[in-house]
Amino acid sequence: MRCFTVLGPSQTGKSTLVEKLGALEGAPRKSISPYGLNLTEFSFGNEAWCALDAPGGSEALVHAQHALLASDACILCVSPAPEEAVLAAPYLRVIEASGTPCILFVNRMDEPRGRLRDVISALQDYAGHTLLLRQIPIREGDKIVGSCDLISERAWRYREGQTSALIAIPESATEREHEARTELLEHLSEFDDWLLEELIEDREPPSDALYAISTRVLKENRIIPVLIGSASHGNGMMRLMKALRHEAPPVDALRERLAGTGNIDQARLSAVSFHAYHRQNIGKTVLVRALGAGLKQGVSLGGSSLGAIQDSANGKSGPAVAPVPGTVFATVKSDHLPVPALLSPEAAFPAPDWTAPPTPMLERILVPGSERDENKLSETLAKLLEADRGLKVAQEEGTGSQMVSIQGPVHLRDLCRTLSDVFHIAVTDRQPNPIYRETISKPAEVHYRHRKQTGGAGQFADVKLTIHPNGRGQGFSFAETVKGGVVPRNYIPAVEAGAREAMDKGPLGFEVIDVGVTLTDGQHHSVDSSEHAFRSASKMGVRQALSEGAAVLMQPVFRSEIHIPSVYSGSLVQIVSSLKGQVLGFDRDETAKGWDIFRALIPGGALDELARALRSATQGIGYFSKTFDHFEELYGKEADAIVRAHGTQRAEH
C-alpha cells in the first residue's frame, strides 16, 4: 500500500481532492476517525492507496505532522490567490522540516484569482525548495479551460466529470508554454548532467527521459513540482494521481528517512504509529503503518504484543490479511503503543523532532460538572495525553484544579467533546488565575512579644525585627545581629522559620518575595521560652511588619518567542507594546524560509490577549512559546483590581 497526505489551509479543497482522487478507479473507502485525521483507501493503477486528509487550521497542524510520518509523499493543496500564499507557510515549514517529497497542487483553478506565476512566486517566499511548474493553464477569455503538460508538451481540455480530452496546444498558449518549459528544463538540469549537456548542445530531450529525471528529483526531495486543477470539477485529478503513482517514492524511502533521524536503527524499524483516538467501549485505536514484514496480532511490537488488527478504513476487525510493508492498519488493545512513535519489535522510539507539536498557546481550567466527573477527569486526561501531543496537563497553582494547555479554541472544543461523548464527563472551562506575588517597597521595624499563660507552663518569646526590600530575584533572606545572648543561639533557627512562614501570605493576600528579615534584639525566659514560642513570635511579628512595609503587587513576566511570517513582522511591535510588553529583538528564522522570530517580555496577564491578537493579526498562523522570566512590580488601577478580585475569590472559598 502506498500512502500520501493531503494538507494545506482550510477550504482549499483538500477533502474534495481526496474524494475525487479516490473515485478515479472505483469506490473509495473512508475512515471513521472522529477527530483530526481522515483516511481514505482506494485503488489506482492496480495498486492499493491510502490518502490521509489532514484538517486545515494551525491548531490542527499537529495532525498533519503526524500524517507525514506515515507518508511516502504529500500534496500541498492551495488556493490560486497570491494574497493567500502566506496561509500555506506553516505547511511548507513542516513539509520541508520532515523531508517528505511534496507536490504542490494549485486547486480551484476554475475560479482563478490572479496569475499562476504570481501565486507560485508568492508561495516561493516560504519554500526552501524551488517550486517548479509542471503544467500551465490554457485560457479562453478569463476562464481556464484546460492545461498543458510541460514535459510531454501535450494539452488537455477539461471536461466536467470526465477525463480531459487531448487537444493541440492552442496558438495563444504556445509562447507561454515555451517559456515555462525552458524554465522547467533549466531547473531540472541543475540536478542532471546529461540534461545539462543536452540543453547546451541545443538538443530536444525526449519526454520519457525528462519524466525519469523529475521522478528522481522528487524522490530525492530536491524540488517541489507544481500541478494545477479543480477538485470539485474533477479537473487535473488524473494527472495528479499519475504523478503520484510514477513519482512518489516507495515505502522503503520512508523507512530510510525515518531511520535517518538517528532515533532508531533502520534494520529494526518495523512500523510507525501516527494517530490515535478513543472510542466508547472500544478504547484506544492506534493507526499504524507497517514498514517491515511479519506483523500480525500477537507478535511483539513496541515492546509488547500487538493487539487485534482492524481495517483502518472501517474500524472493524479486518480481513485476515497480514500487514505487509506499506500497509496502514488500525489496532485496538495495543494501549502500550505510544503515538507517534517509531516501533521496533522490542521497543518504541521517539518520533523525529520535526513532529514536535507547536507549543500550546492557550491555558484553561477544566471545571467538572460533578464530583464523580472530578474523579474521572484527571485519569481520563492522562489517557488522552498519550494520544494528543498538542495537549499538556498541569495543576493550577493555589487551587489544584486541572489545567490544560491546548493549541487553541478549536482544540479545546474537540477535547471537551471527546470528554463528553466518549467518556461522559461534563466540563466547563475558565481562565486560569495568573500567578501573582507581592513584596514591600520600604523597610519596617517591629517589636513583638509572644506571651501565653495556659495551665502549667507558659510561652514567652520577645523579638525585635527589621524587614527590608531585597533586590529582584534575590528571594528571602535572614540575618541576625543579636548581642549578649538575649535570644539564645538555639532559638534563632526557629525565628528564621517563623519569618519564612510569614512569607506565605502578605497583606495583599499573595506569597511574599524578595524580602530580607533581620533579628536585631529580643528577650527570653529561662523556663517559658521555647522554639515554638520564638517561631510564633517571629511569624506574627514579621506579618505585622509586612503590613507596614508598603506592599506592592508583583506580576509574572514571561520571556516569549513569537514566530511569524515576515509579512506580519511590521504589526508585531505594535501588538507587543499595546500589551505593555517589551520587544527584545528579532531575527530571521534560519530554519524556516520567510519566517521571523521575535523575542519579547510579556506580562503574564497579557498572554491570552497575545494569543488572540496574534491569531487575528496573522490569520491564525503566528504562534509563540513562553517561559517564566521574573516578577515585576505592578501599580495603579490594574493592580488594585487584581488585589480586589483576589480578595473576593478568597472570601468565596
Spatial distance between the Cα atoms of 103 and 82, rounded to a whole number of angstroms: 18
On the question of a cis peptide bond just before residue 340, with omega within 30 degrees of 0, the verdict is yes
Q: How far apart are CA 13 and CA 565, in angstroms?
A: 23
CB of 56 to ligand GDP, least distance (A): 5
Residue 13 or 498: which CB sits closer to ligand GDP?
A: 13
For ligand GDP, the closer of residues 107 and 560 by Cβ is 107
SS (H, E, C) 466-528: EEEECCCCCCCEEEECCCCCCCCHHHHHHHHHHHHHHCCCCCCCCCECCEEEEEEEEECCCCC
Among ligand GDP, Mg ion, none, residue 110 binds (CB under 5-8 Å by kind): ligand GDP
What's the rounded Cα separation, in Å, for the pair 596 and 379?
Answer: 39
End-to-end distance of the chain based on CA atoms, in angstroms?
A: 59
Which one of Mg ion, ligand GDP, none is in contact with 10 (Cβ closer than 5 to 8 A by kind)?
ligand GDP
Q: Does 12 bind ligand GDP (CB under 6 A)?
A: yes
Residue of 305, 295, 409, 420 lying closest to 362 (CA atoms)? 409
270 binds, among Mg ion, ligand GDP, none (CB under 5 to 8 A by kind): none
Region from 11-19, 171-179, 443-451, 570-578 binding ligand GDP, contact rule CB under 6 A: 11-19
Stretch in the footprint of ligand GDP (CB under 6 A) among 12-20, 83-91, 302-310, 430-438: 12-20
Question: Please, which residue, 14 or 284, has the CB nearer to Mg ion?
Answer: 14
* Among residues 2, 3, 5, 15, the one that binds ligand GDP under rule CB under 6 A: 15
Phi, psi of 647 (to 5 degrees): -60, -45
Could you tell me if residue 112 is left (phi over 0), alpha (psi between -120 and 50 degrees) or otherwise beta?
Answer: beta
Task: Tell whether residue 325 is a contact of ligand GDP (CB under 6 A).
Answer: no
Shortest approach of ligand GDP to residue 229 CB, angstroms? 7
| Rounded Cα–Cα distance for residues 239 and 226 (Å) | 11
In the complex with ligand GDP, which residue's Cβ is closer, 110 or 153?
Answer: 110
Which residue, 547 or 619, is less far from ligand GDP as judged by CB?
619
Cα dist. 379→73, 367, 397, 408 in Å?
37, 14, 19, 22
Site for ligand GDP contains 13 (CB under 6 A) = yes
Interface residue with ligand GDP among 119, 231, 463, 551 (CB under 6 A) is: 231
Binding mask 579-598 for ligand GDP (x = CB under 6 A): --------------------
Q: For residue 99, give the C-alpha cell.
A: 523531508
In the complex, the smallest distance separating the C-beta of residue 37 from Mg ion, rounded to whole angstroms, is 11
d(CA 109, CA 106): 7
Query: Is the Cβ of residue 55 or residue 318 nearer to ligand GDP in the bound state?
Result: 55
3-state percent helix, strand, coil for the chain, nearest multiple of 5: 35, 30, 35
Q: Which residues bind Mg ion (CB under 5 A)?
A: 14-15
- Cα(582)–Cα(526) distance, integer angstroms: 58
Smallest gap, in angstroms, from Cβ of residue 431 to ligand GDP?
30
Instruction: Kindly tell me the burial class for residue 500, based on how many C-beta atoms sit within 10 Å of its own C-beta (0-12, 13-18, 19 or more).
Output: middle
Give min distance, CB of 143 to ligand GDP, in A: 12
Nearer to ligand GDP, 60 or 253 (CB): 60
By beta carbon distance, the residue nearest ligand GDP is: 13
Separation between Cα atoms, residue 176 and residue 125, nearest integer Å = 23
| Contacting ligand GDP within 69-108 (CB under 6 A) | 107-108
DSSP 450: E
User: Which CB sits closer to ligand GDP, 9 or 594?
Assistant: 9
164 binds ligand GDP (CB under 6 A): no
110 near ligand GDP, rule: CB under 6 A: yes
The Cα 25–Cα 46 span in angstroms is: 9
| Closest separation in Å from C-beta 273 to ligand GDP | 24
Min. distance of Cβ 14 from Mg ion in angstroms? 5
Find the shortest distance in angstroms from Cβ 111 to ligand GDP: 5
Q: Which is nearer to ligand GDP, 159 or 216 (CB)?
A: 159
- Binding partner of 16, given Mg ion, ligand GDP, none, CB within 5-8 angstroms per partner class: ligand GDP
Query: What three-state secondary structure class fits 173?
Result: helix
Burial of 428 (0-12, 13-18, 19+ CB in 10 A): exposed
| Between 51 and 572, CB nearer to Mg ion | 51
Residues with Cβ within 8 Å of residue 201, at least 6 apart in sequence: none
Binding residues for ligand GDP (CB under 6 A): 10-16, 56, 107-108, 110-111, 230-233
